[in-house]
Structure 1
Amino acid sequence: MNERYFALLIGVNRYVDPQLPPLSFAEKDCSDLRDALGDPAGGCFHPSNIELLLGEDATTDAVETALHRTVVSQRQAGDTVLVYFSGHGFTRDIGGRRHAYIATHDVSIRSLLTNPQRGLRMDFLHREILLQGAADRVICILDCCNSGSIVPAPIRDTKSGSDGVLYAPAATLRRSADQTGTDLVDRGFLADGTGRIALVACPHDAVSRESPSLENGVFTHFLIRGLRGAASEIDTGEVTVDSLLAHVRTSTPADQPPGRYGQDFGRIVLSRPGTGRTDPSTAPIRFQISSERAPGDAPAVTPLSHHLDSSLSFCTRFRGELDRASAEQGANLDAVILRALSACAGASLTFILREERETWAVRGRSPNDVAEGNRGSLLEGAVRAIGPSLENGTLFSRFQHGIIARHPDKGEVLGVPLTSQNPREAAILCSKEAEFGIKSDWLGRLVQAVYESSRQLTSINPALIEGHALDQLKSTYGFLPKPHIDRRFELFTDRLNELIIHFEPIVRLSPTELHICGWEALARDPLSLVAPTDLFEAAKLWGVDFSTELDLKLLRKAVQSYREARSATRDQRRPEDVQDLSVNVFASTLNRAAYEDALEDILADGLILPERLILEISESTQIPMAGADRGETLARFRIRLSEFVARLGVSFAIDDFGVGEGSIERLTGLSPECVKVDRSVLQNRFAAATIQFVLQLAGQERLRPARVIVEGVDGESLLGIEDLYALGVRYIQGYVVRRAAATLGRLDREVAEALMVRLRNGE
């Protein structure tokens, strides 16, 4: 144990403010963590150096005093301090600003509206406690909702690389020439020689849950398990901040991703559960395995069941119900959804309750085969059974996806929260004189998913609803059984095959002439003619097999559609008239042999000249790690792009510049043919400074000068084309010129003339 290690553990189960529901395990979290940190068999903290502040003792004043004493006033160089909190966290909009708070026992949320200082604000904890004092290292661990708010937004928006350095996106790097060396991120988290680290249970806008089965907060359970050995480094047997976070990240549910802010500045060892002990049970036992077996000796092997196995049959049956309903003329979407839910869940009646002016009203119910009189009593009994959970807010707790209550007629009532914001809504499923056959949490999540997707549709689309339901299962639970993945891939490819391609012109600006110098191929839904964002999100969610399939299909569609559109356009038929075609691609796809082979076939077939094809790498997607750190990964990726250019002759561009991670790093590291500034930059008050910075960076002597194209220029942009032209921008895309369409052609003459007048007059 280290006499220079100190810990303050704070936990609150019950609160004075009725708006904060009681917790079950926050105080137990602290006790369990104390036992792990001070474990004689491997803990690094002496028990006398660990202070607990629990329950009614954890008032705002008491917590602030203990924090200042433990972290600031009593510490000196060489000390290491750990601060831990388990309880509620919440945010409030006060005076036009959003404040994040740690909920102390006596906090009054209403009083914060008049005096924001009456609670323990996370920015106070960050500024006045964590960044103060002489201790070499301060580790803050928060297991509460909104815990990512412990650091200011400029730090939250940075990305931590494998080397521990925080990488800031372009939005945090804007500074004038006379501000050289003055970072816009908080230097207290980056100061040389001082470690200030925050481990948080969830992002700043997310929830943290506790689990009755684990008898701890979910984050804290895996934190303690890691300290007791699950996070031990293989070579040393020690648990460090890095190894602990790696373990927690791979163990917690996908909908509660933990995070870390700050730097370690060397290894911080928190426990040594695997050192100094000899355990005979860990000695290797070696066997020689043979694939041969005696005749008739068939292996009795069955896979382990998964708690989500039956959810796929629910989705399949629900899809069948929707398919039948879609064949009915004039079918009401809400009624169809509720009827299908009833049939699949085994409910006698399903209806929606909405909060309206301190009362609850029925807003839609399933047209089940229940007599009208019986339906009324069934509905009334369901409301009576679920009523207390509506009034006290239990139903809308963010720690589960639904609750079960007993129906007065010996059946059961399933309540599923749909929206927790005003007006609150809930789906109520009634089973008369029987219990529900399905009581898993996933049923509530699927009900929510179906409702969410139906709100975005104007007509029944069974495939989209089923796909969205599977997406939500994946997003919530992470790992899914293989049949789920296969089914989602089938739906994914079916929808891909339906897409069409539209072309948006890339225009060169000039006061005397505007002309189209290239086209970007954009995927469109054939009915709505809007971008299929559901497919793009699904590709990111489900992984590289999905994103590669998307890129393969869209590449073939884009090149073939471009060839057909040119053939139908009078001044685009000759080879010398062909303009550049830009096609989007995920960075990860460029590492797949299937994409390279498809690209080679397309070029060999003469569908497009290689020098006319530009592959746009989206800035919003990560480059797959292929090295020891980000720098090495970027260098290897650059080599990969160089191989494409040398062997196939195509070019590359960076798309969506300014919205992803490492924008500047990619621009300087990849030397692209062109850089496309994302449309979101034009909605930012720093738009002019950002664009000037990109132009300057793209034109540096050590780089091949890259064309800078500003996307999304329309009538609502903060900068007009005359402003962009004055800044030095010469290429744009957007509605101000022409909307994307299935055809090519010239610019509308009147539109072009009006734009040139604006450029000449600088209006």
Structure 2
Amino acid sequence: MKRFIPILLAILTACASPSATSREKGGLVPLQLDATDLSRAYTPRRFALLVGVSSFDDPQWRGLRYSGKDATDLAAVLGDPARGRFDQVRVLTRPEETTREAILAALRKLKREATRPDDVVLVYLSAHGTLARDGRGELSRYLVTRDASYRAIPQTALSMDALKAEFEQLPSRRRLLVLATCHSGSGKSLLPQELEVELAGIKSGFYARPLEESSRASMVFAASDWGETAREDESLRNDIYTHFLIEGLGGAADRNADGAVTATEAHDYSRRRTFAFTEGRQRPSAEILEVGADPIILSGHLRRTGQPELFSYHPRLDGFTLKVDGEPRLELPGGAAVGPGRRTVELTKGGAVLVRRELDVAPGERLPLERLLSDALPRRSLSLVGGVFSFVDGARRRTVLPPAPQAGVVLRLEDAPLQNLGLLADLSLGRGRRALQVAQGSEVPFGYTTLTVGAAVPYLWRWERLTLFAGPRVAALYLHRSFDVEAFSGAQRYFTVSPGVVGGVVWRLGERLELTSQAQLMLTYVVVDGQGQAVGFTGGHAGVGYRF
């Protein structure tokens, strides 16, 4: 055998080392990679698509003086190597570039170019906005493109639903949509006369905010809030919101002084300045679903660790005032930078204090204020529950134990051991008498005792007062049966530990009381009449809990 080893090695060497003149496949080719090219291949890129629609084919739409200038002025900031540093800035302002199909085509082209998840993508549109009934009779928002017809808005204008559908298909997870438009019937909008009459009769003052907003990781900034007017200003020679957005990108919006202006910093700066400039008549809005994460840097470089930031864009906190060490800092939504160290943070409205907390904040920390609400609520609860215990298959219910009532207690700890995880411990006891049907018309009475002790680590889904949970569970089952009949007198005992799953729902009635319900499914191994069998058992409980 040993004499064949040198021959085998020679063959392998020949196969792995082709001659310089060989053109056979399978040869090893040395690969040299330039470090600069490799870094460029994986570095996130920065794309901007800026659209300004100033003129319209239909004379019913009045021309806008500064929409094209809005787009070009913003492009100058984003393309500046010292500020925005965007790799590609595309501006669409010419008539042939601002039709509905041209804008959609530009978005689809952007989808083919910005293919990396970490690419930064900014889409900005300055134009008229309007409202119209779509084909289903639903009130929808539209962007007025150059070729939009006043009498056929749904058929010719760009639906915001279609715009957002294209925007959401962008592969990037770091994307920002800025809408310098409105739909109030004045300013940068125009409404059909019949729709103005209809809206004037709505007692709420306008119409309900639709529930169609951006997906996770997206930000949508609007130059005005629902039903308000977005305005151009002759003294600023820009859309008001856009003017202050550009000003903020120059560095004025860097509230935490880290050298970079993020998307939310730029929006908050423009929002405050626009509100003050219009004396409260225009309040730009933001829809940010990736709460707590702001990966989009629009201008500058991170040069130093910034000051701590407190912020919230959660609708639940809109209109609340943020106070730090007793001093009012801002009305939410928005954010504020504070000095590092121990701070007293309050959220107030109309003199009432929603939450007051002592916090240690460190340089560079960004704290979503809605987290204070969950921190303020007790995270432990003890519930008294009642329910039923039963085997899954009918044969076990007939020969071992029919469905039996139980009562017990459930202890639940939230956000332990990790955020959005819980610890669940339950104990249930049942006692009573049942009868086994051994033959047609013949029953054998017996007494029983059931005891189950379970532990689970479920995942928690929380929304306002509602909490859903589900996860793996391990439970111990003790079953005791006692017979006292002529044929047999005695007892049977069984104990087992079983794996399974649990799921349930919790509804908070107040700060302390809650309603809870849960169900579990377990798999165990039971010996009946000398024969081992794999069986499933289940249980369901509901009751009232107290948070502490």
TM-score normalized by the length of structure 1: 0.33
Greater C-alpha radius of gyration:
2
The normalised TM-score by structure 2 is 0.45
Name whichever structure is richer in helix by fraction: 1
